[in-house]
Amino acid sequence: MINLELPKKLRASANQAHQVAQEIFRPISRKYDLAEHDYPVELDTMAAMVEGLADSGTQKIGGAAGGRSDDSAADRHATELLGNTNGGNMSALLNALETSWGDVGLMLSIPYQGLGNAAIAAVAADEQLKRFGKVWASMAITEPSFGSDSAAVSTTAVLDGDEWVLNGEKIFVTAGQRSTHIVVWATVDKSLGRAAIKSFVVPRDAPGLSVARLEHKLGIKASDTAVLLLQDCRIPKDNILGSPEVNVEKGFAGVMQTFDNTRPLVAAMAIGVARAALEELRSILTAAGVDISYDVPVNNQHAAAAEFLRMEADYESAYLLALRAAWMADNKKPNSLEASMSKAKAGRTGTDVTLKAVELAGAIGYSQRTLLEKWGRDSKILDIFEGTQQIQQLIVARRILGKTSAELK
């Protein structure tokens, strides 16, 4: 059964991530919100620290590179005996939550811990893990012709001798300019539909890869969001993640496994931002003389206190759903349903909590005197990328009702 008490090892790692969020991210949060597209140079020092921790075997501070447990052989043997573990996915989720509490845009800018790293961890062969284990990988899925329907990928990959030749345009690529590698989703045969969609690791210096522009955004301004062009872009034959063979019966399952790892991480980002807003709001309400009690019925409390308790309950449920999805991944249990549930709940909770916090804080919340208005802007993307709220609900409905994508659209 799932154990909701975090192991000492993960508590220590999460505490490290919280210290980074508090001491490094929070003090520069507003600075880079006002200086969109400027590179956060303060993260270079942090990157060196993360590298040192990784080399020493300590858990990663960032969140997006989860996927496989780094436990020792003895730990894995104990896990097999007990049938229960909290590994790489749980660690990545907790660290993503804590660093996003500090600043989610900066969290997405941590060098060498991009969303593409989770894709590599989920799908790559052992030899590829050795080659790509220390890269900074962004993930390129969305195209001008589609958003959440990942099966509609039109970027092509054609095998030419010992190289894949990629052609297409990718938009809204997080860390698309700064990363060292990009995990690109492309089809190897359009006539075979979604089964032919594969993911490829494209080095930054690959011929034919270019950055067309950087987007100006509502939130997460510390993170660069790029439009990438692939024009006869050539990469080595063995840079395809997983098997190059098209298995029509297996369909889209291979590349979609990536989302089972990354959606709980995005949920954790939303949970981290929501917790930051709740803490700030509580301080403001307390200073205004509003008492929040857990012993008095909600209907007998101040209206603002009642709203706070409602939002806190939503936060707790989103947190527990995300923990369950990560725990299932670490224990090799299919978690597609739970990953989408956690992403849907956390995404909706994040926007609700942050915007309601702005409202309840009044003029203070709407001004730049606190970070509340920034968190309100940052939270919206967390309900959109890695699959929108509507897509998550559709996936949940399909899983619960036992319907295929063709039967329930």
The pLDDT tens digits of the residues spanning 124-134 come to: 888 999 999 88
Beta-bridge partners for 186: 198
Query: Which is more confidently placed, 101 or 193?
Result: 101
* Residue pLDDT, tens place only, 235-285: 999 999 988 888 765 556 556 777 888 899 999 999 999 999 999 999 999
Q: What Cα–Cα distance (Å) separates residue 63 from each residue in 257, 293, 408?
A: 18, 34, 33
Q: Which two three-digit tokens encode residue 243?
A: 């098997």
Q: What local confidence, expressed as pLDDT, does residue 152 receive?
A: 84
Question: Which pLDDT does position 45 carry in this prediction?
Answer: 80
Q: Which positions are catalytic? A: 386
Distance CA 286, CA 291 (A): 6
Which range (59-68, 109-118, 120-129, 324-333) has the least confidence? Answer: 59-68
Q: Decide if pLDDT at 182 tops 80.
A: yes
Instruction: List pLDDT tens digits, range 132-174.
Output: 988 999 999 999 988 767 678 999 999 999 999 999 999 999 9
Pairing of strands 209-214, 225-236: antiparallel
Phi, psi of 146, deg, nearest 5: -155, 160
Average pLDDT over residues 365-374: 98
Whether 182 and 138 have beta carbons less than 8 Å apart is answered as yes
pLDDT of residue 255: 62
Q: What is the DSSP letter of 191?
A: G
Q: How far apart are CA 293 and CA 310, in angstroms?
A: 12
